[in-house]
Amino acid sequence: MFSLNGVDASAPSNEKNKTSPEEGRILDSFSSLTFTRDERLREVEEALVFLGRLTGTAFRHGIPLDLPLPLESTWKAIVEECTSESIRMNEIDGLAAKQHEGRPGRSALLKWQQRMLNSFVEGLSNVIPVEILTILTGEELRDIICGNPDIDVDLLKRVVEYEGFEATDSVVEYFWETLREFTSSERKKFLQFVWARNRLPMKESDFEAPFKIQRDSSEENKDKALPSASTCFFSLSLPQYSNKETLKEKLLFAINNVATMETDFQTNAAEINEGYRAI
């Protein structure tokens, strides 16, 4: 018997070709580059590079993004954390995962996904040194970039400042009780109304400015007035409502009907999709 480069030539071929999980990950990553690159694929990859740049820019400025990408096939893969192929397949396409179950070799779908992820990471690397991301877990990276998917009322209350109000004022208590009673969707609309964002940072130290609740100076018809907000200053102006029911009614109307920076963007996007038919 003899060996070549430390491999026993008499060993079964499957043992000679056996690779470690790390070697397999590297091979899978580079094998995705062998796909034919047509114009459609080029456009998709360029869009993902751009998305990666936007994500990296938001990351550097501490702006949480509502980017609910799969944990195993995106965030864990970016930090080079060991992932389960079956879970990744189910995250992408449950039907394809069942069809591929028990078959040898890596799914072509996962290879395509790896190529798309490479483009996204390329965009990230234009803004931040992606090499440092490996000190994080996939969950930690997701939480840093995406923030808290639920609006933590207690966290918001810890960073609040009052102008013209005291924490013990009845209208302030009405407000916090109402915010707790809101559904998750309504709380996101509220945050969009006051801050033009729909996710909070994970902790107090990540807030660049406090949340401000200001007293509306108008005293006439206070139960008929609507609350207003300044997204640039993360502030809410509240009239001195006489009861909780009125506050809840007016606040719900405001967050569901008042135009914000986000709705302006959606309107413009809708016009683009329609091809500006009115012009």
- Domains present along the chain, CATH in parentheses: 3-146 (no CATH), 153-266 (3.30.2410.10)
How confident is the model at residue 162, as a pLDDT? 97
**How far is the C-alpha of 202 from the C-alpha of 247, rounded, in Å?**
28
Concerning whether 232 is annotated as a catalytic residue, the answer is yes
The pTM (predicted TM-score) of the whole model is 0.64
Query: Which one from 7, 44, 82, 232 is the annotated catalytic residue?
Result: 232
Bigger pLDDT: 268 vs 234:
234
pLDDT surpassing 80 at residue 1: no
Bigger pLDDT: 197 vs 37:
197
How confident is the model at residue 217, as a pLDDT? 79
State the average pLDDT over residues 158-166. Answer: 95
How confident is the model at residue 97, as a pLDDT? 67
DSSP secondary structure of 8-75: ETTS-HHHHT---HHHHHHHHHHHGGGS---HHHHHHHHHHHHHHHHHHHHHHTT--------IIIII
C-beta separation of 64 from 148 below 8 A: yes
State the average pLDDT over residues 134-163. Answer: 93
